[in-house]
Chain A
C-alpha cells in the first residue's frame, strides 16, 4: 500500500492536500492537520505532494503503483 506521510512541523494547515486528493484519502483531524483516513484508496498519484506549498507531505509509493505509473508519475 502507498504510504502518505505528513510532516506536521512544516504543515501550515492550508487544506490544499485534503481538498484536491482525487480519492478523498485525507481528512482534517481535531487539530486541523491532514491525516490519512482511507490509505487503501490512495493511487499514488502524487498530487497532494506536488501541490503542498510547504513540502510537508510525501507519498511513499509501493512497488505495484510504482510499476503502474512509472518513476515520472505526475508528469
Chain B
C-alpha cells in the first residue's frame, strides 16, 4: 500500500488509463506534474482553468487532467485560446503545444497571439522533433542531424522559439528544461500570473526519436545533457555569442508590460454599449 497519495491524483481523470501513453522517460510527464503542482499551490479552481492543446504527444496532456480541456487540431491551440479568453475573460487560459505544433504548422498563430498580447499562458514542449508522427524534423531540430524526414541530414537551420516570441511581442518569455524542475515551477507560476501573452519554452526529451540524433542513449543521458548544457540568463549575459553556441539559456528572458488585447476589447465593449 502507498503511504501518501501523489498530488496528481487530485487532478487526474479517473476514466483514463494509466500509466499514460508517453514512452519511458519522456519529459512531457515531468512538465505535466509541474503544471499540476503550481496550479495546486495557487489554489486555482479546476473550473477556472482552461487547458488547450493541438495535436502531438504534447497535445495529449489535457486529455489526462480534470480541468476544462480542449484537444484541438494541429497548430490551432492558440486560436481556440484567443476566442475563449475574449468570450470569457474570467478564465485562466493555458495552452500546451509541441515545437511542431507551436512554431511549424501553428507558427502564424504563435506570432499573432504574441503580437496581440492576449492573456494566455503558453507552454511549448520543445523536444526538437515531431514525436507523435515518428521523428521527422521540426523547426527546432538541429542543423545537420539525421531524422526520419532528413535521411542525409537536416538542411534547415533551427530557430529560437523564445526570440521569436520576444520579437513578436510576448510580454513574458522564459525557458527551462524538465531537468530544472524547481526553476520550471517558478516559471510556470510567473507565466500563469502574467497579464498578457506569456510563453515558456520547456526543453524536453523525446527519448524515442530525438535521442539517437542527439547521440544520447537514454532518458538519463538526455537530462544530463540538459543539465550540462544549460546556462542561466545571468551567466549568459557575461558570455559571448560563440561561448553560448549550442547552449540552453534558462530563466526569465523577457518580462515587460503592455496593454493586453482582451482588456482593451472589454473596455471597448463597455464604452460602445453605453451609447
A contacts, CB < 8 Å to B:
3, 5, 7, 9-16, 19-20, 47, 49-56, 58-60, 72, 74-75
- Binary CB contact string for chain B from 210 to 228 against chain A (1 if under 8 A, 0 otherwise): 0000000011100110000
Is B30 in contact with A50, judged by CB distance below 8 angstroms?
yes
CB distance from A75 to the nearest CB of B (A): 6
Residue pairs across A and B with CB atoms within 8 Å: the count is 85
**Those of B22-52 within 8 Å (CB) of chain A:** 22-30, 33-34, 37, 41
- Given A12-B23, A53-B33; 12 other pairs, CB 8 A cutoff: A7-B6, A15-B25, A15-B218, A19-B220, A20-B223, A47-B181, A51-B30, A53-B24, A53-B30, A54-B19, A54-B20, A55-B33
Is A5 in contact with B3, judged by CB distance below 8 angstroms?
yes
Is A60 in contact with B27, judged by CB distance below 8 angstroms?
no
Which A residue's beta carbon lies closest to that of B28? Answer: A53
Is A74 in contact with B182, judged by CB distance below 8 angstroms?
yes
Is B178 in contact with A51, judged by CB distance below 8 angstroms?
yes
A51 to B31, CA, bound (A): 9
Give the size category of B's interface with A. Answer: 35 or more
Q: Which residues of B contact A47 (CB under 8 A)?
A: 181
Is A52 in contact with B4, judged by CB distance below 8 angstroms?
no
* Cβ-defined partner of B19 (8 Å) among A12, A51, A58: A12
A11 to B18, CA, bound (A): 10
Is B8 in contact with A7, judged by CB distance below 8 angstroms?
no
User: With A53-B28, A74-B182 as given contacts, are A10 and B3 in contact (CB-CB < 8 Å)?
Assistant: no
